Structure 1
Amino acid sequence: MMRIVTIIYFVCFLFNTRANAQSILGRKVSLNIVQQKLSVVLTMLEEKGEFRFSFNSDILPVDSVVTVKENNISIAETLEKLLTDRFEYRQSGNFVIIRYAPLELKLLILEALGTPELYTVKGQIVDKRTEQPISDASVYEKFLLVSEISDVDGFFVMRLKKITQPISLTISKENYKSTTTHFLAEVNITNKQENSSETFVNGNLEEIAKTWIGNALVTAKQKVQSVNIGGFISKAPFQFGLTPGLNSHGSLSGQVVNKFSFNAVGAYSAGVDGAEIGLVFNIDKSDVRFFQFGGAFNLVGGNVQGAQIAGFFNYVIGDVKAAQITLGYNHVGKNFEGFQVGGVYNRINENLKGMQVSLGLNAIGNNLNGFQVGALNLIAKDTRGVQIGVGGNVVNGRSTGMQVAGIANINKESNGLNMAAFANLTALTARGAQVGVLNYAKTLKGLQVGILNISGENDGYSIGLVNIALKGYHKLGLSTNETTELNAIYKGGSKRFYNMLMFGTNTKSSTKIYTGGLGFGKEISLFKSLSLNPEISSQYVYQGDWEYVNLLSKFELPVNIKINKWFAIQGGPSLNVYYTKQQTAIGDYGLLQQKHKDFSFKNSNYTGWIGWNVGIVLL
Structure 2
Amino acid sequence: MTKISVLLISISIFFGYHSKAQKHSKFQASFVSPIGTNGLESRYTSNDYSFNLLMGTNGGLRKMEIGGLANVNSGAVSGFQMAGIANINAEKTKGFNLAGTCNLLAKNAEGFQLAGVCNIVGKEAHGVLISGASNISQESASGFQLAPLNLVGGNFSGVQLGVFNQVKSLKGMQIGIVNISDSTENATPFGIFSIVKGGYYALELSYSQSMQANLSYKMGVEHLYTIFTFGFDNYKNKDLFRYGLGFGSMLSLGKTHKLALEATCSQLVYDNSWDDLNLLNRLKTNFHMHVSPDFALFAGPTFNVYITDKKIGEKYGTIDMPHSIYDHESSKNKLFMWIGFNAGISFTF
1:320/1:361 Cα in 2 relative to 1: closer, same or farther (>3 Å)? closer
* Residues 154-202 of structure 1, C-alpha deviations (whole Å, 9 max, x = no match): xxxxxxxxxxxxxxxxxxxxxxxxxxxxxxxxxxxxxxxxxxxxxxxxx
Q: After superposition, give the CA deviation of every residue in 1:305-351 in whole Å (9 maximum; x if it has no partner).
A: xxx699xx9933132110322313x2222444212324145334323
The CA deviation at 1:477 is 2.0
**C-alpha separation in 2, matches of 1:338 and 1:584:** 71
User: Is 1:503 the equivalent of 2:237?
Assistant: no
1:498-537 map, 5 Å: 498-507=225-234, 510-537=237-264
- Pick aligned residue for 2:47 from 303, 320, 325: 320
Q: Is the 8 A contact 1:456 1:472 kept in 2?
A: no
**2:11 counterpart residue number:** none
Deviation at 1:444, TM superposition (A): 1.9
Distance across 1 between alignment mates of 2:230 and 2:209: 15
Q: Report the aligned-residue RMSD.
A: 2.9
Would you say the 8 A contact 1:501–1:518 is kept in 2? yes
Q: Which residue type is aligned with residue 146 of structure 2?
A: M
User: In the alignment, is the contact (CA less than 8 A) between 2:90 and 2:105 conserved in 1?
Assistant: yes
How many correspondences in the alignment?
323
Q: Which amino acid aligns with 1:501?
A: F
Deviation of the 1:298 alpha carbon: 3.8
Contact 2:201 2:218 in 1 (8 A): yes
Counterpart in the other structure of 2:76? 350
Deviations 1:374-417 (A, max 9, x none): 42222334333322233321223443332222222122333222
> Retained in 2: the 8 A contact 1:387–1:403?
yes
Residue matched to 1:599? 325
SS at match of 2:140: strand
- Aligned equivalents of 1:403, 1:606: Cα separation in 2: 45
Equivalent residue for 1:429, pick from 146, 149, 155 = 155
The amino acid of 1:443's aligned partner reads S
Q: 1:383 aligns with which of 102, 109, 116?
A: 109
Select the structure with the greater relative contact order (CA < 8 A; seq sep ≥ 6). Answer: 2
Residue equivalent to 1:408 = 134
Matched, 1:578 2:295: no
TM-score by length of 2: 0.81
For 1:404, the aligned partner's letter is I
- Specify which of 551, 564, 583 is matched with residue 292 of structure 2: 564
User: CA 1:487–1:440 in 2, change beyond 3 Å: closer, same or farther?
Assistant: farther
Distance in 1 separating the partners of 2:321 and 2:145: 47
Once the two structures are TM-superposed, the CA of residue 539 in structure 1 deviates from its matched residue by 1.6
Which structure: larger Rg? 1
Q: Which amino acid aligns with 2:287?
A: V
Q: Tell me which residue corresponds to 1:232.
A: none
How do 1:238-277 and structure 2 match up within 5 A?
none
Corresponding residue number in structure 1 for 2:9? none
What TM-score does the superposition give when structure 1 sets the normalisation length?
0.48
CA shift for structure 1 position 557: 0.7
Deviation at 1:599, TM superposition (A): 2.0
Counterpart amino acid of residue 528 in structure 1? K
Q: Deviations over 1:27-82 (max 9, x none)?
A: xxxxxxxxxxxxxxxxxxxxxxxxxxxxxxxxxxxxxxxxxxxxxxxxxxxxxxxx
Partner amino acid for 2:209?
E
Q: 1:454 and 1:354, CA in 2 relative to 1: closer, same or farther beyond 3 A?
A: same
What does the per-residue CA deviation read over 1:546-584, in whole Å, with 9 as the maximum and x for residues that have no partner? 322222111111111222232222221111111112223
CA distance in 1, matches of 2:116, 2:64: 22
Structure 1 or 2: more strand by fraction: 2
Q: 2:280 aligns to what?
A: 552
Q: What does residue 438 of structure 1 align with? A: 164
The residue matched to 2:117 in structure 1 has which SS? strand
CA contact (8 A) 1:297 1:314 kept: no
Q: Whole-Å Cα distance in 1 between the matches of residues 143 and 23 of structure 2?
A: 40
Q: Is the 8 A contact 2:52 2:68 kept in 1?
A: yes
Structure 1 residues 523 and 319, CA, compared in 2 at 3 Å: closer, same or farther?
same
- Please list the CA deviations of residues 418-446 of structure 1 after superposition, one character each: whole Å capped at 9, or x if unmatched: 1222x211222332222222111222222
Answer yes or no: is the 8 Å Cα contact 1:550–1:579 preserved in 2.
yes
**Alpha-carbon shift at residue 500 of structure 1 (Å):** 1.5
Q: How does 1:121-270 map to 2 (within 5 A)?
A: none
Sequence identity (%)? 25
Q: Is contact 2:48–2:62 with CA below 8 Å preserved after alignment? A: yes
Distance in 1 of aligned mates of 2:30 and 2:107: 32
Structure-2 separation of matches of 1:602 and 1:289: 74
Q: Letter of the 1:373 partner, please give it.
A: A
Question: In 1, Cα distance between the equivalents of 2:255 and 2:217?
Answer: 23
Question: Counterpart of 1:252?
Answer: none
Matched residues in 1 for 2:134 and 2:30: separation?
Answer: 37
Which AA in structure 2 matches 1:590?
G
AA aligned opposite 2:125: S
SS at match of 1:316: helix
Q: Is the 8 Å Cα contact of residues 24 and 47 (structure 2) preserved in structure 1?
A: no
1:471 corresponds to which of 174, 198, 212? 198
Is 2:176 aligned against 1:488?
no
Deviations 1:213-236 (A, max 9, x none): xxxxxxxxxxxxxxxxxxxxxxxx
Give the residue type in structure 1 aligned to 2:300. Answer: G
Q: Which runs of 5+ in 2 are unaligned?
A: 1-16
**Contact between 1:466 and 1:501, CA under 8 Å: does it hold in 2?**
no
How has the CA–CA distance of structure 1 residues 552 and 348 changed in structure 2, closer, same or farther, with 3 Å as cutoff? farther
Aligned partner letter, 1:338: M
Local SS of the residue matching 1:595: coil
Q: Deviations over 1:81-132 (max 9, x none)?
A: xxxxxxxxxxxxxxxxxxxxxxxxxxxxxxxxxxxxxxxxxxxxxxxxxxxx
The 2-side partners of 1:565 and 1:364 are apart by 52
CA distance in 1, matches of 2:234, 2:123: 54
Cα distance change, pair 332–562 in 1 and its aligned pair in 2 (3 A): farther
Indicate which of 350, 360, 363 corresponds to 2:89. Answer: 363
Partner of 2:189 in structure 1? 462
Deviation at 1:607, TM superposition (A): 0.3
The aligned counterpart of 1:399 is 125
Aligned equivalents of 2:181, 2:24: Cα separation in 1: 50
1:64-143 alignment runs, 5 A limit = none
